[in-house]
Structure 1
Amino acid sequence: MNKVTVLNENDLRKILTMEETIAAVEEAYKQKELNKAFVLPMIFHEFEAGVADMDIKAGVMPELERYGLKVVSWFKDNPAKNLPALFGTTLLFDSKTGAPCSLLDAEYITGMRTGAAGAIGAKYLAKKMAKTLLIIGSGQQAFFQIAAYLTVFDSISDIFIFDPLDANKANAFVTNLATPLESLLAKNPTKKVSLKNTNVSAVTDLAQTLEKSDLVATVTPATTPIIKAKWVKKGTHFSCIGADISGKEEIDPQIFKDAIIIVDDLQQAITVGETERPIKEGVIKKADISGEIGALITGKVAGRTTDDAITIFDSTGIALQDLAVSNLALKIATKENIGQTVFL
């Protein structure tokens, strides 16, 4: 029999810090660029269009002696059955033996690693000393984006929350943000972060807010653009998070026309990411994409060239993020004796 560590959401909340998650995701991007980690083809299947689907993301990380996969299932009618609409599960394996190492709840890890990704894109593409952050969307991912941006940027003084469907949700998000956010940020091992110097507010006028936003993170399931090109000021950085299947779109394709574009995975970006529509509509060509985030981190490609440049990071989400953060969680859990052990 083989020992497998099972980690549920409560375990992961105890284990993971945003600071360490960011470091793990950044290292995963680097490993991919250096051909020391590999993303396998993504699988997406609809059981019933618009009602139930699943996707599988898998990868190999030889440096960590790990490979694995994440399965995410979405069943629209589950809430009526008192079940979550979304289930996510990650499996880690030992790449030397093929033995399963860990079974992890993927929802919390996905939230953490996705937040980390948005902030990493901004870290390498945004203007220095960016002060204002606009989050489009007020779901749970907005929470993780804020935690990650505040961990990366010391300069943020104002955070704006805009919900494209319901302003009341943005207000409720802001009202309930402080306590859980402070709790998460206080766990950072070296960079303790607090909201005391940051003003967080809900906004309703998107065009006006964009005029004063240095950083923009889009975290919605939109299929038509929320942000129009004519609203965007010079120097804005976008981390586009929501587009992860074909047809999703959050920002006007025309914004891509003169922007510096970085993606997490080239093939995913042009088929299921925010970059899909601009390429299909002929606004840009594949060659107009500067490169992947790993190449930017390692200095193989240039990022922002001037303070006036508009920059875009298209983060579709790759398995290596999940594997790196899952492996981090497993290491800490093993050390601190957290989780359950089963034998298969």
Structure 2
Amino acid sequence: METALLGPETIGDVIEIEDVVAAVESAFTAEASGTTEMPAKSYIDLPQYGGDFRSMPAYLDTGEWDGAAVKWVNVHPDNPADHDLPTVMGTIVYADPETGFPLAVLDGTTITRLRTGAAAAVATKHLAREDATSLGIVGAGRQADTQLAAIATVRDIQRVVVSDIDDSAVAAFIERFGDRFDVSEGSVEAAAACDVVSTITPVREPIVTAVGEQTHVNAMGADAAGKHEIADEILQASRIVIDDYEQCVHSGEINVPYSEGILTDDDIAAELGAVVAGEATGRTPETERTVFDSTGLAIQDVATSHVAYESAQAAGLGEDYRLVDTTS
């Protein structure tokens, strides 16, 4: 029995973003139903290298399929400039829960980009105005691509405003998407004034200080203690939906104001899984601003790895490798 090795090209060839969004949405439903196991994300901080490692294991049963996986992932913000490497890299082992056999080893960097975009899309589906047509993106790195691709599957996005301190990253983004959308460069303020805005930066001092009157914010960048993209005043005036309580109060967008007592549990409206499952309220006619605080969940990696593995198997793609000695 062999393990499938699925690199970024194979995953990109076989996977459809719509399928990832659907799988991630089912993962949130399963979480609300109690059919997941997801130990807390563990961190190895490496301040001497300006980065960290994270370990993320999970099991997921949607009722139609189940799967298990663990992701080993780094976040090193200085990598692009200092080492010509991505900020985030990861490896995922996707396993058969019944036997424990590793069905696939996948490029976790690509899976992370896909599932992060899909999580924002699920939040946008349930929290943004139904007539939303404009999307702001703060941070024009590669994650920006999957934010747009995924969110465009749940809303009729026509106009995109992208903001980044790196003009070349903005130009490259416009070149990639300018033929499909009305894409323009703009300030953080212009991006945040759109119907939906996704923030995907590693900043530790808020850079979004104002948003539109009915804007939905996908706060995707804060994934470690001390990171903080959105001004406290915006968070206080918004309906806040989080992906996971323990992770968000420790390392999500709300972690800084929560630790300072500016936000409390009373300011958290719900977890996204409960909203998706219909157990909690998302956007209402009276809702003005909404914020989704995303730290990234291991069940999202399981769901996306499942889609990638099954799609690759159906297409006959991926390299088979005898990774494990199965002789008894």
- Aligned twin of 2:172: 172
Distance 1:97 1:227, change over 3 A: same
- Aligned twin of 1:285: 264
- Aligned twin of 2:246: 267
1:80, 1:208 → 2: CA distance? 31
Give the secondary structure class of the aligned counterpart of 2:124. helix
Gap runs ≥5 in structure 1: 180-194
Q: Residue 220 of structure 1: CA displacement? A: 0.8
Q: Residue 208 of structure 1: CA displacement? A: 4.6
Normalised TM-score (structure 1):
0.87
Which of the numbers 138, 143, 149 marks the counterpart of 1:147? 149
- Aligned twin of 1:226: 207
1:146, 1:248 → 2: CA distance? 23
2:240, 2:16 → 1: CA distance? 29
Give the secondary structure class of the aligned counterpart of 2:58. strand
Q: Is the 8 A contact 2:30 2:61 kept in 1?
A: no
Distance 1:259 1:86, change over 3 A: closer
1:322, 1:42 → 2: CA distance? 13
Q: Is the 8 A contact 2:241 2:268 kept in 1?
A: yes
Letter in 1 for 2:12: R
2:25, 2:70 → 1: CA distance? 19
2:87, 2:151 → 1: CA distance? 28
Q: List aligned pairs for 1:193-342, cutoff 5 A.
A: 195=180, 198-204=181-187, 206-211=188-193, 213-228=194-209, 231-306=210-285, 309-342=288-321
Q: Residue 289 of structure 1: CA displacement? A: 0.9
Q: Is the 8 A contact 1:215 1:237 kept in 2?
A: yes
**Structure 2 residue 91 is matched with structure 1 residue 108:** no
Q: Residue 84 of structure 1: CA displacement? A: 4.8
Q: Residue 308 of structure 1: CA displacement? A: 5.1
Q: Residue 98 of structure 1: CA displacement? A: 1.6
Please give the root-mean-square deviation of Cα atoms over the aligned residues, in Å. Answer: 2.0
Q: Residue 50 of structure 1: CA displacement? A: 4.4
Distance 1:90 1:131, change over 3 A: same
Gap runs ≥5 in structure 2: none
Q: Residue 244 of structure 1: CA displacement? A: 0.7
- Aligned twin of 1:189: none
When the two structures are aligned, how many residues end up with a matched partner? Answer: 320
Letter in 2 for 1:171: A
Q: Residue 11 of structure 1: CA displacement? A: 0.6
2:278, 2:87 → 1: CA distance? 41
Letter in 1 for 2:24: V
Distance 1:328 1:269, change over 3 A: same
Normalised TM-score (structure 2):
0.91
- Aligned twin of 1:138: 140
Q: Is the 8 A contact 1:256 1:283 kept in 2?
A: no
Distance 1:210 1:337, change over 3 A: closer
**TM-superposition CA deviations, 1:155-214 (whole Å, max 9, x none):** x22110011x234432332123347xxxxxxxxxxxxxxx2xx3111113x335544x11
